Amino acid sequence: MIAKTNILILNDFDGIYTIPSHEFLNDRTLAIIHDYEYRHLRDLLGAELYNEFTTDLVNGVPTTQKWTDFLDGKEYLSINGCMLNYEGIKSFLVPLVWADYILHAQNYQTNIGNVLPGAENATNTGDFNLNRISNDAWNVGIEKYNECYMYLWTNISDFQHFEIYFRKKLQRGLYNKITVR
């Protein structure tokens, strides 16, 4: 079985990307977050680099500088000679995972079947609003995801297995922003 990174924690989801926390949901919520985190990182890096990244982590902290920079971000010189600021993987993981989470964690499986959570004095805003705010978060995440690709490509000598994977991914196309999801 492939190790998952478990980089994101509930406290990463604040501000506009808040995931409500309460005692009953924390374990389930973290499991969902880590599943989506895994999917997005594995898609970004491909199997070989993902495994290299997770192998480098000790208690969630990278042991080498290239993976520390990948995780936390850094300023770097682009291929064109421009100074760019790469913000690290949480800059794209938080909005992408949040967008996935709010769309897919609305319902809960119970012994009686699929149920909607309810709260006193609350009204569900409906699918249209949910899709709109999910799309907005997704688009922010995709912009940051693509910036991460440019960081990896610019530093290709540090990420040896990335070039072949990246070229295949370019043929399929990087993620695009969406208007309807």
The answer to whether residue 159 is domain-embedded is yes
Mean pLDDT score across all residues of the chain: 82
Structure tokens, 118: 């309810």
For the chain, the domain total comes to 1
The answer to whether residue 66 is domain-embedded is yes
Give pTM, 2 decimals: 0.82
Domain that residue 54 falls in: 10-172
Question: What is residue 160's predicted lDDT score, i.e. its pLDDT?
Answer: 79
> In whole angstroms, what is the distance from residue 105 CA to residue 171 CA?
32
The answer to whether residue 125 is domain-embedded is yes
If you search the block for the tokens 């993987």, which residue do you land on?
A: 89
Question: What 3-state class would DSSP assign to 138?
Answer: helix
Question: What is residue 163's predicted lDDT score, i.e. its pLDDT?
Answer: 74
- Element spanning 86, H or E: strand 83-86
- The answer to whether 46 touches 165, Cβ cutoff 8 Å, is yes
How much is the average pLDDT of 132-140? 88
**pLDDT, greater one: 65 or 43:** 65
The answer to whether residue 51 is domain-embedded is yes
Q: Is the predicted pLDDT of residue 1 greater than 50, yes or no?
A: no
Partnered with residue 114 across adjacent β-strands are: 109
Q: Which DSSP string corresponds to 29-46?
A: HHHHHHHHHHHHHHHHHH
Q: What is the identity of the amino acid at 170?
A: L
Question: What is residue 72's predicted lDDT score, i.e. its pLDDT?
Answer: 97
- The answer to whether 139 touches 178, Cβ cutoff 8 Å, is yes
The answer to whether residue 1 is domain-embedded is no
60 φ/ψ sector (left φ>0, alpha ψ -120 to 50, else beta): left
CA 179 to chain centre: 19
**pLDDT, greater one: 116 or 41:** 41
Q: Is the predicted pLDDT of residue 178 greater than 90, yes or no?
A: no
The answer to whether residue 28 is domain-embedded is yes
Question: What is residue 53's predicted lDDT score, i.e. its pLDDT?
Answer: 94
The answer to whether residue 85 is domain-embedded is yes
CB-based contacts of 57: which residues, under 8 Å, 6+ apart?
5, 63, 67
Question: pLDDT digits over 15-29, tens only?
Answer: 999 887 665 566 778
The answer to whether residue 177 is domain-embedded is no
Helices (H), the chain: 26-56, 65-72, 90-104, 127-154, 162-172
